[in-house]
């Protein structure tokens, strides 16, 4: 039997619709327009595309969008000065500094300079720590999107065996922590894991976030498992063109899994939707508004 395909495009459109409704209430009832600032340093083409999409989605949701561009020769002090100005700006509720940064700039120093309540990426150690101990925190966008898709598809996740392949600070570690908070039994697998195929075969929920094209094969997957593929890898085709693939070999996986996210059109579109959702969360917390009451 072929797996149910979890449609991230459709789901992210629903999330963005909810965000737009929340923005309307914040503006009309509370007189607040949520504001998101994105800082781009340098000319990296992929980063330019991400930033353009983020700004477009922010404006479409009815929020204020501020884009700050600095040349790739910018110093750490110049970037920190921008972050400090945005920290003080009351019309800005979310700050995102696009990564990677040019090599002369210490990424950790920049992330740590962002006011934790405005850290819509959820990368600041204060947010990482608060999330780990179960306190209200800003949660990284991609893992937040994965959890939303999992709960939408499976409902209650408690007691399920979850395997996260990959241990990055941006996806693997926060993903494992969020799954634990949902009462899953969580394993993190990585490049040093022994018998990784067997570990994956134990998963009711398998999250692939390693950045290795089509590494996870259909025979690594338990029948009926839910597979979330975070990978976005561009590979060459025989005809010299390129195509996007995930970290999971989709064609073999779809015959075994119960449900699977495709690449493209799965997790990817959820990341920007969750960035907007995080900006709503930040705006509400900064203004002592109960987020759950926005839409009644």
Among 5, 25, 81, 99, contact with ligand GUN (rule: CB under 6 A): 99
Is residue 119 near ligand GUN by the rule CB under 6 A?
no
| Catalytic-residue membership of 173 | no
Is residue 141 near ligand GUN by the rule CB under 6 A?
yes
Residue count, binding to ligand GUN (CB under 6 A): 7
| Catalytic-residue membership of 54 | yes
The encoded tokens of residue 130 equal: 């608060």
Residue number of the CB closest to ligand GUN reads 99
Is residue 279 near ligand GUN by the rule CB under 6 A?
no
Which residue among the candidates 22, 118, 119, 121 is catalytic per the annotation? 121
| Among the residue ranges 15-23, 97-105, 147-155, 202-210, the one whose residues contact ligand GUN (CB under 6 A) | 97-105
**Strands ordered across the beta sheet of 94-97:** 64-70, 35-41, 94-97
| Among the residue ranges 3-11, 78-86, 94-102, 281-289, the one whose residues contact ligand GUN (CB under 6 A) | 94-102
| Of residues 22 and 98, the one with the C-beta less far from ligand GUN | 98
| Among the residue ranges 90-98, 130-138, 159-167, 178-186, the one whose residues contact ligand GUN (CB under 6 A) | 90-98
Which residue among the candidates 98, 119, 222, 247 is catalytic per the annotation? 98
CB of 141 to ligand GUN, least distance (A): 6
CB of 257 to ligand GUN, least distance (A): 26
CB of 97 to ligand GUN, least distance (A): 6
Cα 120 from Cα 114, distance rounded (Å)? 10
Active site residues: 54, 98, 121
Q: Where along the sequence are the contacts to ligand GUN (CB under 6 A)?
A: 96-99, 121, 141, 271
């Amino acid at each position: 039997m072929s797996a149910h395909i979890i449609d991230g495009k459709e789901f992210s459109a629903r999330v963005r619709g909810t965000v737009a409704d929340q923005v309307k209430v914040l503006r009309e009832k509370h007189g607040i327009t949520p504001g998101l600032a994105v800082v781009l340093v340098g000319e990296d083409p992929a980063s330019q595309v991400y930033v353009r999409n983020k700004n477009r989605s922010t404006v479409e949701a009815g929020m204020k969008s501020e884009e700050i561009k600095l040349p790739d020769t910018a110093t750490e002090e110049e970037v920190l000065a921008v972050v400090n100005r945005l920290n003080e700006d009351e019309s800005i509720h979310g700050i995102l500094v696009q990564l990677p940064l040019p090599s002369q700039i210490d990424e950790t120093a920049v992330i740590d300079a962002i006011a934790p309540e405005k850290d819509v990426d959820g990368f600041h150690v204060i947010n990482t720590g608060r999330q780990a101990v179960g306190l209200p925190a800003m949660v990284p966008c991609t893992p937040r999107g994965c959890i939303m898709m999992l709960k939408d598809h499976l409902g209650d996740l408690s007691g399920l065996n979850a395997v996260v392949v990959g241990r990055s600070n941006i996806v693997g570690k926060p993903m494992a922590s969020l799954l634990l908070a949902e009462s899953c039994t969580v394993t993190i697998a990585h490049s040093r894991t022994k018998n990784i195929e067997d570990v994956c075969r134990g998963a009711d929920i398998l999250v692939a976030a390693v950045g290795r094209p089509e590494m996870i094969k259909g025979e690594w997957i338990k029948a009926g498992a839910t597979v979330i593929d975070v990978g976005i890898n561009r590979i060459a085709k025989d005809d010299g063109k390129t195509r996007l693939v995930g970290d999971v070999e989709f064609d073999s996986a779809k015959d075994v899994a119960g449900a699977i996210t495709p690449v493209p059109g799965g997790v990817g579109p959820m990341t920007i939707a969750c960035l907007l959702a995080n900006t709503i969360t930040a705006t509400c917390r900064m203004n002592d508004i109960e987020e759950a009451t926005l839409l009644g």
